[in-house]
Amino acid sequence: MAKELLKGNHAFAEAAIRAGVEAFYGYPITPSTEFLEYMSARLPELGRAFVQAESEVSAINMVYGAACTGKRVMTASSSPGISLMMEGISYIAGTEVPAVVVNVMRGGPGLGNIAPSQGDYYQMIKGGGHGDYFPIVLAPASVQEAIDYISLAFDLADKYRALVHVVVDGNMGQMMEPAELPPLREIPDKVPDWAVSGAKDRDPNILTSIYIDPVDEEVTNLRLLKRWKEIEKNEVIYKEYEVEDAEVLVIGFGTAGRVASSAVREAREAGIKAGLLRPITLAPFPADRLRELADRVKRILVVEMNSGMMLDDVLRLVKGKVPVEFYGRMGGMTPLPDEIYGEIRRVAENKGPGAQDPREDWIPRLEKVIAGEK
Amino acid sequence: MVATTELIYQRPESFTDVHTHYCPGCTHGVAHRLIAEVLDEMGLRENTIGVAPVGCSVFAYRYFKMDFVEAAHGRAPAMATGIKRVLPNNTVFTYQGDGDLASIGMAEIMHAAARGENISVIFINNAIYGMTGGQMAPTTLPGMKTTSSPLGRDVELAGYPIRMSEIISNLDGAGYVVRRSLHNPANIRKAKKAIRLAFETQQRGLGFSMVELLSSCPTNWKLSAQEALDFIAEKMVPVFPLGDYKVHPTLESLKV
């Protein structure tokens, strides 16, 4: 199929349809609403299920219900909506049923704003809902990548009976880019043996997240953890740019990673040996690759659109081997390539020891940037 | 001489062969049995997916021999919607108590009814939170003592009981909404007919169906089993009148 000019949210929705999604349940929220609008027209046309729920709480519980039937099901929302969904997300994880949740992240906390953000990193990657569970989290950086990884999200969800989050931000949801959609996949008519479908000629299937005896819950927690270890072994995805001889390693995901790649290119043109590691799977995180690179590079610069959330994971993995610095924008602000280029230059020239918490050095720098922009 | 025996009573096919965890005198068992008998009679066991709630009947799926899922507190109608929309040819029902349906799950039940979801809801109204140990419910009677209204429900502070059947019957998406009681055999027979009609409503695609069942909770009401049944008849029925609140015209001529 040829490339077309596609709007992010529409392309993501169509990608899910092509991947065989049989139901979408959602609630309008900027900047993800076009996802829901698109589904409201397309799914009935294909004889598939669409419901605009009364709330995100209800939407995710509809997803939970359909997930129990083994059908491909999803929802898309944005930060405050995702907060409301955390109850159902925990139940989905606890019941071990597959589902895909797209979060078009916006500025927060609270009502925040509708501008692009990566402030839900902790919420999406570290759980967010109650209890011990491990969602897979994919972070594409372009419309094309989002299309590709939404397809993968469904495959991973089915493969591991797991919850898969796809995190993008308002930039990607709203932007138009040339991209290519995959062909429409056929929907398998085979029902998974664990799914509810009516207990005809078999014992009943019971899908629940209750394990009233703590020992049973512990066994379940252990099963989830062991499955997660498998996922960590098999499913890490990342992209790299110019890392082979890099002295300054920039790490960023999603939009921040994409902007950073422009900055790295500019740095290379200026003769600075910069490289980029852009995790696609934020969970499982490309930990082994980061450890390898940390042995080779002189300094690391983490770039995010939050207060340094992935930064904590980087610090944990780098273990002080090389100084780690941070540059973030928050609240719905997207950094410009020049800002990050300036940071790369600064970091390349900085020979001092890294701060215990790289945020401490960054806060005054950001205050200056904000003062300059105001 | 040949001895003949006639089988007049047995465990429904739709039941598993286990003892329930319900307290003596509780009417959950009666409600469960009525559902099982109806599903047997309609030949629906192998086609049915039940949705269990959070509350005393959280383990309902242990007692029904059919596919079951376990919802979060109050979300059973949303979960049932999610299932029914992708499996429209399956029979889907929720089993919910008053705290689940009329308090934390108020949005989910109202909107499932408003959308006319083709699901059946069995609503157990015993005017109290059972599983957590007898707190005030949205259906607790004025003046009724509970562990969270120890001096009796003061309507000035805690408001009034909610009559769900009356409210839901006003929604256009509802096809069948009735209130019955489980306090004596005559009413139990009527309750069974209503449950049958609820599933017939779903079978015929006539929209949302709900049977509210006035039920007893001797443990948390601190009454004997018989006193609890009397309490339903004497105290609950006046506040929650029995009757048909919405019956789709197609159902009126149906003999069950």
Q: Is A171 in the B-facing interface, judged by CB distances under 8 Å?
A: no
What distance in Å separates the CA atoms of residue B199 and residue B178, rounded to the nearest whole number? 13
CB contact under 8 A, B87 and A51: no
Number of H helices, E strands in chain A: 13, 15
Q: Is B203 in the A-facing interface, judged by CB distances under 8 Å?
A: no
Q: Is A198 in the B-facing interface, judged by CB distances under 8 Å?
A: yes
- A153 pLDDT band, cuts 50/70/90, is very high
Q: What is the pLDDT of residue B255?
A: 85
Using an 8 Å Cβ cutoff, are B201 and B176 in contact? yes
- Strands lying side by side in the sheet with A324-328: A238-241, A274-279, A248-251, A299-304, A324-328
Q: What is the pLDDT of residue A213?
A: 97
CB contact under 8 A, B70 and A197: no
pLDDT tens column, A215-239: 999 999 999 999 999 999 999 999 9
Q: How many Cα atoms within 13 Å fall on the side-chain side of residue A69?
A: 33
**Smallest CA–CA distance from B80 into chain A, residue:** A65
Best A206, A211, A212 residue to mutate vs chain B (most B CBs within 10 Å): A206
Distances (CA, A) of A326 to A84, A86, A354, B9, B116: 30, 29, 10, 74, 53
Nearest by CB: B82 against A23, A54, A55: A23
Nearest Cα neighbor of B65 from A213, A95, A198, A67 is A198
Query: Residue-wise over A160-187: b if at least 16 C-beta within 10 A, else e?
Result: bbbbbbbbbbbbbbbbebebebeeeeee
Is this complex scored with an ipTM above 0.85? yes
Residue A190 pLDDT > 80: yes
The low-confidence residues of chain B, meaning pLDDT below 50, are none
Q: Which residues of B touch A64 (CB under 8 A)?
A: 71-72, 75, 78-79, 82
Residue A1 pLDDT > 70: no
What distance in Å separates the CA atoms of residue B193 and residue A7, rounded to the nearest whole number? 54
Per DSSP bridges, beta strands A163-169 and A136-138 are parallel
Q: What is the pLDDT of residue A145?
A: 96
Q: What is the pLDDT of residue B4?
A: 87
**Smallest CA–CA distance from B68 into chain A, residue:** A206
Using an 8 Å Cβ cutoff, are A274 and A243 in contact? no
Q: What are phi and psi of B93, to 5 degrees?
A: -135, 150
CB contact under 8 A, A57 and B107: yes
Strands (E), chain A: 4-7, 23-26, 49-52, 73-77, 99-105, 136-138, 163-169, 176-179, 206-207, 238-241, 248-251, 274-279, 281-283, 299-304, 324-328
Q: What is the pLDDT of residue A355?
A: 85
- Quote the minimal CA–CA distance from B191 to chain A in Å: 25
**Smallest CA–CA distance from A58 into chain B, residue:** B78
**Smallest CA–CA distance from B48 into chain A, residue:** A198
Using an 8 Å Cβ cutoff, are A347 and A299 in contact? yes
CB contact under 8 A, B86 and A200: no
* Strand, helix or coil for residue A169: strand
Average of pLDDT values for A125-144?
Answer: 96
Q: Which residues of B touch A200 (CB under 8 A)?
A: 46-47
Using an 8 Å Cβ cutoff, are B219 and B126 in contact? no
Per DSSP bridges, beta strands B243-247 and A248-251 are unpaired
Q: Which residues of B touch A91 (CB under 8 A)?
A: 72
Q: Is B48 in the A-facing interface, judged by CB distances under 8 Å?
A: yes
Nearest by CB: A58 against B78, B87, B91: B78
What distance in Å separates the CA atoms of residue B243 and residue B212, rounded to the nearest whole number? 10
Best B13, B51, B56, B86 residue to mutate vs chain A (most A CBs within 10 Å): B86
Q: Is A134 in the B-facing interface, judged by CB distances under 8 Å?
A: no
Q: At what angle do helices B106-114 and B76-86 cross, to 10 degrees?
A: 40
Put simply, the chain B residues between 113 and 152 with a CB less than 8 A from any chain A CB are 115
pLDDT tens column, A196-214: 999 999 999 999 999 999 9
What distance in Å separates the CA atoms of residue A156 and residue A229, rounded to the nearest whole number? 14
Nearest by CB: B67 against A54, A204, A209: A204
Instruction: Determine the Cα angle at A25 with ends A19 and A26, to 5°.
Output: 115
Q: Is B78 in the A-facing interface, judged by CB distances under 8 Å?
A: yes
* Strand, helix or coil for residue A320: coil
What distance in Å separates the CA atoms of residue A237 and residue A349, rounded to the nearest whole number? 31
Q: Which residues of B touch A198 (CB under 8 A)?
A: 46-49, 66-67, 87, 90-91
Burial of B43 (0-12, 13-18, 19+ CB in 10 A): exposed
Q: What are phi and psi of B71, to 5 degrees?
A: -85, 165
Q: Which residues of B touch A101 (CB under 8 A)?
A: none
Q: What is the pLDDT of residue A331?
A: 96
Q: How crowded is residue A237: how many other Cβ atoms within 10 Å of its Cβ? A: 14
Q: What is the pLDDT of residue B194?
A: 98
What distance in Å separates the CA atoms of residue A343 and residue A365, rounded to the nearest whole number? 10
Sign of the torsion formed by the C-alpha atoms of B59, B191, A200 and B69: negative
CB contact under 8 A, B108 and A61: yes
| Contacts across the A-B interface (CB distance below 8 Å) | 131
Using an 8 Å Cβ cutoff, are A337 and A317 in contact? no
Q: What is the pLDDT of residue B1?
A: 66
